[in-house]
A and B are shown apart, each in its own frame.
Chain A
Amino acid sequence: MTPLTSSSTALTPTWAPIRGARRLWDRLLGPLAFMATLLGLVVLIVLLIDVFRDGWPRLSWKFLTSFPSRKPEEAGILSALVGSVWLVSLTALFSFPLGVGAAIYLEEYAPRSRFTEFIEVNIANLAGVPSIIYGLLGLELFVRFLFPVTNGRTILSGALTMTLLVLPIIIIATREALRAVPDSLRQGGLAMGATRWQVVRDLVLPQALPGALTGTILALSRAIGETAPLITIGALTYIAYLPPFSLEALRTPFTVLPIQIFNWVSRPQAGFHQAAAAGIIVLLVVLLTMNAGAIYLRNRFQRRTV
């Protein structure tokens, strides 16, 4: 077998007794690997401590309900928070049906053909495209080309760009959930004379839905932290009003939490850095809540199939 022959130098049967350098290396690798595993976690903890130390004193009800300001001590996060909620809601609305639909096609309908294989490879490749490239696509397609629909650099353009960005993640997760549904269920339904869509709707989807929802929430938590593509399509960094609570809101300029944080970090004043840290805490709490929701769904799902 190749792995053994290729490593034959290491496995020449003239073994020295296990002592000296041989023993030392053997003893060292375990602790070394353990420390490498901890490295990331330690940095994560230091990061969280640093952010909370800088941002906690700044966090208040006033911070959550104020608009950004030129004065660091008066700056608040309201418009960014509302913008993020709008953006994520719209992205969910667009991407969930599209992603689940694509997954249903690939798992339940698609014939084994070159075309299907091409779609699969294509989705895997799209998941690896840097997010800022999606921003360039959104800039040209939604901001410029579809200007009459989107009105330019607006919430709608942002949500459409985000939809394209998160679709591969949702499709991959939903396909996994669909694949986990036993085939006997489908065969049983078909044997009873159900059509293919009836089988999908009544038997397969109810089983796969929690998995699909979990994947969608994780994809959306990616969307809520994304900054680069939204900067590229031209989200603003200073918004001192809220969008109207109507469909017109879709066609208004916007900002989101990570962009507001980026803006504050880029300023020289220490006061804005504290505001950025406080903004990061808000962002992390939102993310934590979403992930907790995903874990809750996953656990419920696991209990039910047992």
Chain B
Amino acid sequence: MSVSPLEKSLSTREATSLLSFGRKRGLRPERFLELFFLACASLSIVTTVGIIGVLIFETIGFFREVPLWNFLTDRQWTPLFAKKEFGILVLISATFLTTVIALIVALPAGLLAAIYMSEYASEKARRVLKPALEVLAGIPTVVYGYFALLFVTPLLQELLATVGIKLSGFNSLSAGLVMGIMIIPTVASLSEDAIYAVPRSLREAGYAMGATRREVISGVVLPAALSGIVAAFILAVSRAVGETMIVAIAAGQNPRLTLDPTVPVQTMTSFIVQVSLGDTPTGSLAFRTIFAVGMTLFLITFILNIISHAIVKRFREVYE
């Protein structure tokens, strides 16, 4: 059974492509422009291919010299020393540590801020608070690094000294805390979109059953918005893992396998910064090492981003 294309309802875009079909000749510049626009759009694919290609190419070179097994199981990270060891776990432990500290701040604060803005704040307050919170996301990360190293660390040193804990001048604690503040808007903004989309009727049903406001929020609204909130959380993790300047400035450059938040550590990103600052000849092993670390970083964030998109797509509740 054949259906003529015109019987279906056409979008303007599709209708135009039918219209212009008859006049492709004599419209050379038009065709040229369309190809130019297509090329612009395809540039994003070229970029992705470029990133993956470059990382794979250099990483293969790296693993010719360093066995993958050592990369995954060594307990030391000393690629710039004479006796080289390449245990990526060391850098991953530092990234994990700063990320967890950041999330302890950002997830509750971001979610509560989202709840406040969508459930409690007046429309007027919401219109002021939301952009004000966005400002936090617009501050350059190097500024947060300054703040973490020269304000938060001295403050925490004094506070922790009173309970007998010695905090080093470089540590993952203040880097993580400041990073958490920076990520609040990411969590708040995306969670708020999800919470705001929950229809009023669901809330009213909750109230009609005698639930209090808190019970409606935690029992009805949050479960209904869960997919969006989880996606926001995962994106926050990905942001924290890839964050560079705060940790490079405030967490130190000392690769060590530890989960102690008071000592200097080195994350994956700050290792790349450290090597880039030195005069590393291109093509050397140290040069390839930053690509192997970059590959690890890329894989982690890429998987997180894909999971986040998939959750939004699959579990989104669509309300009419």
Contacts and interface: CB of A to CB of B under 8 A. Distances in A.
Interface in B6-49: 12-17, 19-20, 23, 27, 29-30, 33-34, 36-45, 47-48
A195 to B, nearest CB: 6
A102 B184 contact: no
Contact of B273 (A18, A44, A221, A231): A231
Nearest to A123: B44
A101 B301 contact: no
B209 A11 contact: yes
Nearest to A222: B138
Among A4, A226, A273: residue with most chain B CB under 10 A:
A4
B305 interface: yes
Contacts of A258: 140, 142, 245
A39 B20 contact: no
A262 interface: yes
Interface in B105-136: 108-113, 115-117, 119-121, 129, 132-133, 135-136
A34 B120 contact: yes
Contact of B202 (A3, A39, A130): A3
A137 B50 contact: yes
A197 interface: yes
Contact of B302 (A51, A129, A141, A167): A129
Given A29-B214, A135-B276, A231-B273, A37 B116 contact: yes
B75 interface: no
Interface string A1-43: 1111011001101010010001101101110111111011101
A25 B217 CA distance: 12
27 contacts: A26-B213, A29-B214, A36-B110, A37-B133, A40-B184, A47-B143, A98-B40, A104-B40, A105-B40, A109-B13, A122-B48, A125-B302, A125-B306, A125-B309, A129-B51, A139-B276, A140-B58, A195-B23, A196-B34, A225-B143, A227-B245, A228-B269, A231-B277, A232-B273, A258-B245, A262-B142, A262-B249
Contact of B146 (A43, A228, A280): A280
Contacts of B138: 221-222, 225, 287, 291
Interface of B: 12-17, 19-20, 23, 27, 29-30, 33-34, 36-45, 47-48, 50-51, 54-55, 57-58, 108-113, 115-117, 119-121, 129, 132-133, 135-136, 138-147, 149-151, 181, 184-185, 188, 202, 205-206, 209-215, 217-220, 223-224, 235, 238, 241-245, 248-249, 269, 272-273, 276-277, 282, 290-291, 294, 297-298, 301-302, 305-306, 309, 317
A136 interface: yes
Given A29-B217, A33-B119, A40-B181, 17 more contacts: A13-B210, A33-B120, A37-B133, A40-B184, A40-B188, A43-B136, A44-B135, A46-B151, A98-B43, A119-B45, A133-B242, A137-B54, A227-B141, A261-B143, A262-B248, A265-B150, A284-B139
A158 interface: no
B206 A11 contact: yes
Contacts of A139: 276
A167 B245 contact: no
A4 B37 contact: no
Interface in A80-113: 97-102, 104-106, 108-112
B13 A108 contact: yes
Contacts of A190: 12, 15-16, 19
Given A51-B147, A227-B141, A122 B44 contact: yes
Interface of A: 1-4, 6-7, 10-11, 13, 15, 18, 22-23, 25-26, 28-30, 32-37, 39-41, 43-44, 46-47, 50-51, 54, 97-102, 104-106, 108-112, 118-119, 121-126, 128-137, 139-141, 143-144, 164, 167-168, 171, 183, 186-187, 190, 195-197, 199, 221-222, 224-228, 231-234, 237, 258, 261-262, 265-266, 273, 276-277, 280, 283-284, 287, 291
Contact of A136 (B14, B55, B139, B282): B55
Contact of B272 (A26, A39, A136): A136
Contact of A124 (B33, B120, B290, B309): B309
Contacts of B51: 129, 133-134, 136-137
Nearest to B111: A36
A168 to B, nearest CB: 7
A141 B273 contact: no
Contact of B151 (A39, A47, A102, A231): A47
Contacts of B108: 36
Given A101-B37, A125-B302, A129-B298, A137 B47 contact: yes
A34 B302 contact: no
Contact of A225 (B48, B140, B244): B140
A23 B212 CA distance: 8
Contacts of B291: 136, 140
Contacts of A37: 112-113, 116-117, 121, 129, 133, 188
A183 B242 CA distance: 40
